[in-house]
Structure 1
Amino acid sequence: MKKTVEIIGAPCAFGQRKLGVNMGPNAMRYAGLVERIEGTELTVEDKGNIASPAIDMKKYRGEQEGGLRNLEEVTEFCETLCDEVDQTIQSGKFPLVIGGDHSIAMGTIAGVKRHYDNLGVIWYDAHGDLNIADSSPSGNIHGMPLRALIGEGHPDLVNIGGYQNKVKTENIVLIGMRDLDAGEKKYIREAGIKTYTMADIDKLGMQKVIDETIDYLKGTDGVHLSLDVDALDPVETPGTGTCVPGGITYRESHLAMEMLHDANIITSMELVEVNPLIDINNKTADQAVGLLGSFFGETLL
């Protein structure tokens, strides 16, 4: 891992319908994010939050148009984020993007992919985020970013960054799945995406899941980690917009982060969906910062 971590705040709330997730980056800073990473003897530079389009509350709360809610705003935000991530990598630093809802992954990975020919992606989440407009029951774009990164969906989303097909299906590992729409299940089966459901984690244990993931992605030239806090059980992370019971434990997630740190395969990362407005005493931001501490090499002794 590069010695300098550059934090990019991505306060996007347009990919779903719960305001407050745009406050997630600052909630994590308040929870001691910078100090926690500095404690691992890495250098930290915080670029602050990137600019976001203004929120029109009538439109934000209204019905979606054409099956895609706030398409223009999500696209604009992700284009800006793409350029910021690109600049961070060009400068030789490790990009840590903190969100914000999961639609920002389209911008993050568009910026990352400019620097890798065969990028791998670990999608640590309760959801597959593999919908398109026709299969989405909500029209929320935070349920669509991975499908768009593969190259399917609305052209505005697919072509963020000025190009498409950022990720190959054979270079994706889904970890923590427990809430998939019917269209997503069908797509995962047909595309053959490597998937670990919660049942798989229960049977195999997190250590084997991460060992197998590392081995599976060994042919890639870089690996992006996209971590949605709703991958964890809502008892652990209550401040997130799409809670699903029966998730990964906090301890299992620490182990996953520790193993990924030791493997030294992750070349970029984002952490998303922290929403302090629906949290309890900033608990979810605290938990998120703890996981990032483990990922960046924090040890007990």
Structure 2
Amino acid sequence: MQHHHRISLIGAPTDIGAGARGASMGPEALRVARIAAVLHSHGLEVIDRGNLSGPGNPWQGPLHGYRHLPEVVAWNQRVHEAVHAELAAGRLPIMLGGDHCLGIGSISAVARHCRETGKKLRVLWLDAHADFNTAELTPSGNIHGMPVAVLCGHGPQALVEIGGQVPAIDSDVVRQIGIRSVDPGEKRFVHEQGLEVFDMRYIDEMGMRHTMEQALMGLDEHTHLHVSFDVDFLDPEIAPGVGTTVPGGPTYREAQLCMEMIADTGRLGSLDVVELNPALDVRNKTALLAVDLIESLFGKSTLMRKS
């Protein structure tokens, strides 16, 4: 069973960092898929804090390599404050996105909490993309392609400073899983920065079990485990409701194993669920699948094992 029984849902309904509209509807789609009731059915206390509010999406082109930078900063400051408040109260925050730029606010808050409580941090980044772009490298200027770089200190001052410390995290706390789409300049930068990446070829060759054993290695009772779950991590055949589909992602069974192995550690302390775009979905099936996988993260076992 998880060591955290008190969960807070925090909606961040914006697509401010994305290249397609619609991730702003993600929180409601997850609620429609009964995320609160499903977690509650496992004996967890769930409080839905409702949605944060922030600036609308002006839908403009990039300025100095960044699209919508002031609005992205405003949203991430609000996410940071909300996530940090839940952690400080001893609760487990689930940030319902919104696009993945919001991971900047969320993970900087987790890192700050870890500094304040003397804990080590491990971040699992489940994603088809490395999200390690900079203004110099990005083809688009969309900030949802930059959060890991920003968290590691590479990006505009207003964003890298949100957590009160630059860099918010060291690259060696991150394990990226499921990666299969990286821009050429971004690839060089990832290698330079020493990010640990378990891409789809690694998963295909070594299997999800070995991949997760590697990604979770070294966790102890002093480690706070944060999972940043971009729904485009999943194969688009099973999860069409995302703006940036990349073929060849984990299957349903691989994704279940990934989540169950995270649950088995008992260390999960915070979660992002991002990039769900119900405008591109089919009968909310991607949201239902996401909730099913989140249920596994919190200990729903699909297996007939004696506990």
Tell me which interval the TM-score lies in, with the shorter structure as reference length. Answer: over 0.9
Is 2:137 aligned against 1:143? Answer: no
* Counterpart position of 2:52: 50
Tell me which of 56, 65, 68 is aligned to 1:67: 65
Q: Return the offset for 1:163.
A: 2.7
Q: Secondary structure at the match of 2:71?
A: helix
Structure 1 residue 151: Cα displacement: 0.7
Amino acid of the structure 2 residue aligned with 1:102: H
Q: How does 1:193-212 map to 2 (within 5 A)?
A: 193-212=195-214
Which of 33, 36, 39 pairs up with 2:38? 36
Q: Contact (CA 8 Å) 2:95, 2:271: kept in 1 or not?
A: yes
Q: Equivalents in 2 of 1:218, 1:190: separation in Å?
A: 28
Deviation at 1:16, TM superposition (A): 1.2
Decide which of 21, 24, 36 is 1:19's aligned counterpart: 21
Q: Aligned-pair distance for 1:90?
A: 1.1
Residue 226 of structure 2 aligns with an amino acid whose one-letter code is H
Normalized against structure 1, the TM-score is what? Answer: 0.95
Does 1:114 find its partner at 2:112? yes
Given residue 43 of structure 1, which amino acid in structure 2 is its aligned partner? E
Which residue of the partner structure matches residue 97 of structure 2? 99
Q: TM-score, normalised by structure 2?
A: 0.93
- Does residue 222 of the first structure (1) align with residue 224 of the second (2)? yes
- Once the two structures are TM-superposed, the CA of residue 218 in structure 1 deviates from its matched residue by 5.0
User: Cα offset for 1:219?
Assistant: 9.5
1:7–1:45 CA contact under 8 A, matched in 2: yes
- Which secondary structure state, in structure 2, belongs to the residue aligned with residue 108 of structure 1? helix
**Distance in 1 (alpha carbons) for counterparts of 2:215 and 2:56:** 39
Partner of 1:83: 81
Cα distance change, pair 115–237 in 1 and its aligned pair in 2 (3 A): same
Report the residue type matching 2:22 in the other structure: G
Contact 1:120/1:167 (8 A) holds in 2: no
Residue 190 of structure 1, CA deviation: 1.6
SS of 1:161 mapped into structure 2: coil
| 1:216 Cα deviation after fit | 4.7
Query: Using the alignment, how far apart are the partners of 2:268 and 2:184 within structure 1?
Result: 31
Aligned to 1:182: 184
The answer on whether the counterparts of 1:121 and 1:167 sit within 8 Å (CA) in structure 2 is: no
Q: Secondary structure at the match of 1:257?
A: helix
CA distance in 2, matches of 1:275, 1:216: 34
State the Cα distance separating 1:95 from its structure 2 match.
0.8
* Corresponding position: 1:131 with 2:133: yes
User: Once the 2 structures are TM-superposed, how far is the Cα of residue 19 of structure 1 from its aligned partner?
Assistant: 1.7
* TM-superposed deviation, 1:161: 3.1
What is the CA deviation profile of residues 255-281 of structure 1, one whole-angstrom value per residue up to 9, with x for unaligned ones?
A: 111110011122111110000011111
Deviation at 1:180, TM superposition (A): 0.4
- Matched residues, percent identical? 39
| CA deviation after TM superposition for structure 1 residue 220, in Å | 6.7
Matched to 1:75, the amino acid is: V
2:282 partner letter? I
Aligned pair count reads 297
Which residue in 1 is equivalent to 2:163? 161
- Displacement of 1:54 in angstroms is 2.3
Say if 1:171 and 1:220, in contact at 8 Å, map to a contact too. no
1:17 CA displacement: 2.6
